[in-house]
C-alpha cells in the first residue's frame, strides 16, 4: 500500500545555540561488571558485535557480547532507574564460541526474544525460553546455518507471513587465505517454509558484505535489501540494492532503474530522516570514505539515486580528530540517535584499525557527531569523554538505566569492551521512549515507522533489524524532545495501517499497540 506522508520542516527553537549541548559520558566499565574480550586473529578481524534486548520483561535492556574464539557473554541488567550501570554475568545458553555478530528478534512470534548468532562456521538461531535462557533451534525451525565466515545480517517480515525473512551475508573464503581477494562466498536469503524456514536462496553476485538492512527507502510499503560490501576483498563488485517482491525471486536493482554504482570499503549502515522530507538518509561507514546519502528526488516510488552530503554536513569523519596520527580512519559500527535530547539526531561512529594496516591510523578515536539546527554536525567525541582509541568494532547506544539518556557500549578487538553512562548536558531537555507491541507474527513492528511531532517539527525513524556493524537491539526507541514538554506520536505499521496521532508527555516510556492509545510504562525497580 502506498503511504502518504505529511512533510514537516524542522524549525530551530530560539533556545538553541549554534553549537549543540555536549553530553558528558562517564566510563563505568569496571564498576558495571563488564569484561572479557573479543578475541581471535584472521577470521575475527571483522565482527565483534553486541546485542541488547529485554529477556526477563522488566523493561531494562540486557546485554550480549560476542567473544570470537572465546565464549559469548550474557549480562543481566541489574541497574536501578537513574542509577549507575550494573550488570551480572550469568549462564544463558548463549555461551557459544566463534560468535562474531549478535542480533535479537522474535523468530517464532511467541513474544519471547530469540537470538541470531553469526559465527565462523554455522549460524545458530537460539530460541528464547523465558527468564533469559536460550536453546538451539536450527533443527526445530528447519534452519540451515551453513558453514562460512558469516559477516552480515538483516530481518524483515513479508506480507502475510508468520515467520521472518532473513538475509545473511558471508565474507571471504576461509580456505583461500593465501590469496583472498575475489573469493567472496555466497550470501543467502531465507524465507518462510512449511515448518519454519525454506531452503536458502542464493543472493548472487555476492561481494563480501559487512552490513545489510531491509529498508523501505522509497516509502512504497515494501522494504528492499540494502547491502554494503567491503571492496578490500571483492573483484568487480559494488554496493547493492535488492528487490524482495513477495512471492517472487529476489533481483538486483540495476543502473537502468536508477541504481548508481558505488564502491567503498563498506562496514556499516544506519538510517534516519534528517531533513524531515519523509525519506531516510543513509550513513555508510568505510575506510576514509564515509558517506551520508540523501535521495535526490524524495517522492514515493522514486528511483534509488542518491547524493552524498557528508562533506557539506561535516560528517566525513575520515581521519582522527585528536593526536598526531593523520592517516585515514577505519570506521565500523554506526548508529544515529539523539544523545543530548535536543530533538536533533546525532551520529556515532566506532573506529579501529583492521590489524596494523600501515596506511591507516592506529590511534583512531570514535566519533560523536552532534547535529546543529542548520543540519551540519560538530565533533564532540573528545569533549564528551568517549574518544577511545582502542580497536573498536561493534557497539550500541542504549538507555541501560532508563533515565532518558542514551548510554554507550563498544566491543573492542583483543581488548576489553567499554561502557559509558550518559550523565546529561546540564540543559533541561526532555525525551520520550516507545516500545512497539504489534499484533501478529512481527510482534516488535520491524519496518514500522514511528513519527513524533512537537512545535519544533516532526521526527521519523524506521524500525530496522540489521545495519550497523555486527550489532543489533530491540526494546525502547528513543526520541529527544528538546525543550518541549508535550508531543504527539503515531505509528505507521508494517501492514500499512496508520495509527492516529496521540499525545505523550516528556519523560515518559510508552507502549504502542495498533488501535489503542499509548500506555504509560513504569519500571518495577527504582
**Residue 274: strand, helix, or coil:** coil
What single-letter DSSP state applies at residue 87?
A: E
Cβ atoms of 510 and 433 within 8 Å: the answer is yes
Q: What are the start-end ranges of the H helices in 322-462? A: 381-384
pLDDT band at 7 (very low <50, low <70, confident <90, very high): very low
In this predicted structure, the answer to whether residue 343 has a pLDDT above a threshold of 60 is yes
Bridge partner residues of 288 (DSSP): none
Percentage of residues of the chain with pLDDT beyond 70: 96
Query: Is the bond preceding 205 in cis, omega lying within 30 degrees of 0?
Result: yes
Predicted confidence at residue 181, as pLDDT, reads: 84
Half-sphere exposure of 178 (CA within 13 A, CB side): 0
**Locate cell 551453513: which residue?**
146
Q: Point out the least confidently predicted range of 300-304, 337-341, 389-393.
A: 300-304
pLDDT range class, residue 11, cuts 50, 70, 90: very low
Contact at 8 Å (CB) between 204 and 180? no
- With cut-offs at 50, 70 and 90, classify the pLDDT of residue 147: very high
Per-residue model confidence as pLDDT tens digits over 149-173: 999 999 999 999 999 999 999 999 9
pLDDT band at 239 (very low <50, low <70, confident <90, very high): very high
pLDDT tens profile 288-307: 999 999 999 999 999 999 99
- Residues 35-75 have pLDDT tens digits of 999 999 999 999 999 999 999 999 999 999 999 999 999 99
Q: What angle do CA 112, 115, 121 make, to 5 degrees?
A: 155
Would the pLDDT of 511 be above 50?
Answer: yes
Task: Record the pTM.
Answer: 0.95
Q: How confident is the model at residue 180 (pLDDT cuts 50, 70, 90)?
A: confident
Strand runs (DSSP E) across 157-217, as ranges?
Answer: 165-170, 187-190, 192-193, 196-197, 201-203, 209-215
- Neighbour tally for 363: CB within 10 Å: 15
Query: Beta strands 508-512 and 430-436: pairing type?
Result: parallel
Say if residues 365 and 382 touch (Cβ distance below 8 Å). Answer: yes
- Residue 4 is predicted with a pLDDT of 32
pLDDT, residue 6, reads: 34
Per-residue pLDDT tens for 422-475?
999 999 999 999 999 999 999 999 999 999 999 999 999 999 999 999 999 999
Amino acid at each position: 500500500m502506498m503511504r502518504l506522508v505529511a512533510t514537516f520542516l524542522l524549525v530551530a527553537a530560539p533556545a538553541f545555540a549554534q553549537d549543540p549541548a555536549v553530553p558528558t559520558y562517564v566510563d563505568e566499565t569496571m564498576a558495571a561488571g563488564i569484561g572479557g574480550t573479543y578475541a581471535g586473529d584472521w577470521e575475527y578481524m571483522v565482527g565483534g558485535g553486541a546485542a541488547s534486548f529485554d529477556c526477563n520483561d522488566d523493561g531494562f535492556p540486557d546485554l550480549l557480547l560476542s567473544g570470537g574464539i572465546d565464549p559469548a557473554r550474557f549480562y543481566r541488567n541489574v541497574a536501578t532507574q537513574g542509577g549507575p550501570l550494573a550488570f551480572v554475568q550469568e549462564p544463558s545458553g548463549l555461551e557459544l564460541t566463534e560468535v562474531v555478530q549478535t542480533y535479537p528478534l522474535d523468530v517464532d512470534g511467541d513474544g519471547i526474544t530469540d537470538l541470531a548468532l553469526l559465527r565462523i562456521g554455522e549460524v545458530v538461531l537460539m530460541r528464547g525460553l523465558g527468564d533469559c535462557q536460550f536453546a538451539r533451534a536450527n533443527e526445530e525451525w528447519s534452519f540451515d546455518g551453513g558453514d562460512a565466515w558469516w559477516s552480515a545480517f538483516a530481518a524483515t517480515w513479508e506480507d502475510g507471513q508468520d515467520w521472518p525473512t532473513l538475509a545473511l551475508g558471508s565474507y571471504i573464503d576461509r580456505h583461500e587465505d593465501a590469496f583472498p581477494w575475489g573469493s567472496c562466498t555466497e550470501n543467502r536469503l531465507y524465507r518462510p517454509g512449511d515448518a519454519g524456514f525454506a531452503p536458502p536462496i542464493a543472493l548472487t553476485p555476492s561481494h563480501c558484505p559487512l552490513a545489510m538492512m531491509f529498508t523501505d527507502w522509497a516509502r512504497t510499503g515494501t522494504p528492499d535489501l540494502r547491502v554494503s560490501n567491503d571492496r578490500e576483498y571483492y573483484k568487480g563488485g559494488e554496493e547493492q540494492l535488492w528487490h524482495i517482491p513477495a512471492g517472487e525471486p529476489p533481483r538486483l536493482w540495476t543502473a537502468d532503474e536508477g541504481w548508481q554504482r558505488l564502491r567503498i570499503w563498506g562496514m556499516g549502515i544506519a538510517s534516519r530522516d534528517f531533513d524531515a522530507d519523509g525519506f531516510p538518509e543513509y550513513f555508510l561507514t568505510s575506510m576514509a570514505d564515509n558517506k551520508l546519502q540523501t535521495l535526490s528526488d524524495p517522492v514515493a516510488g522514486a528511483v534509488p539515486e542518491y547524493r552524498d552530503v557528508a562533506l557539506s554536513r561535516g560528517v566525513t569523519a575520515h581521519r582522527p580528530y585528536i593526536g598526531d596520527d593523520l592517516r585515514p580512519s577505519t570506521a565500523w559500527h554506526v548508529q544515529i540517535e539523539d544523545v543530548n535530547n535536543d530533538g536533533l539526531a546525532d551520529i556515532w561512529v566506532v573506529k579501529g584499525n583492521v590489524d596494523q594496516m600501515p596506511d591507516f591510523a592506529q590511534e583512531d578515536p570514535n566519533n560523536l557527531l552532534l547535529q546543529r539546527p542548520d543540519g551540519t554536525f560538530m565533533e564532540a567525541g573528545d569533549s564528551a569523554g568517549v574518544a577511545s582509541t582502542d580497536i573498536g568494532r561493534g557497539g550500541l547506544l542504549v538507555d541501560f538505566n532508563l533515565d532518558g539518556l542514551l548510554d554507550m557500549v563498544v566491543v573492542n578487538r583483543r581488548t576489553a569492551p567499554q561502557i559509558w553512562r550518559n550523565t546529561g548536558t546540564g540543559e533541561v531537555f526532555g525525551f520520550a521512549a516507545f516500545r512497539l507491541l504489534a499484533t501478529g507474527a512481527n510482534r516488535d513492528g520491524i519496518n514500522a515507522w514511528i513519527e513524533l511531532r512537537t512545535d519544533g517539527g516532526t521526527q521519523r525513524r524506521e524500525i530496522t533489524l540489521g545495519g550497523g556493524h555486527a550489532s543489533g537491539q530491540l526494546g525502547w526507541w528513543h526520541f529527544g524532545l528538546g525543550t518541549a514538554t508535550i508531543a504527539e506520536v503515531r505509528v505507521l505499521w508494517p501492514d500499512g495501517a496508520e495509527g492516529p496521532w496521540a499525545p505523550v508527555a516528556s519523560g515518559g516510556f510508552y507502549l504502542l499497540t495498533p488501535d489503542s492509545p499509548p500506555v504509560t510504562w513504569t519500571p518495577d525497580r527504582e
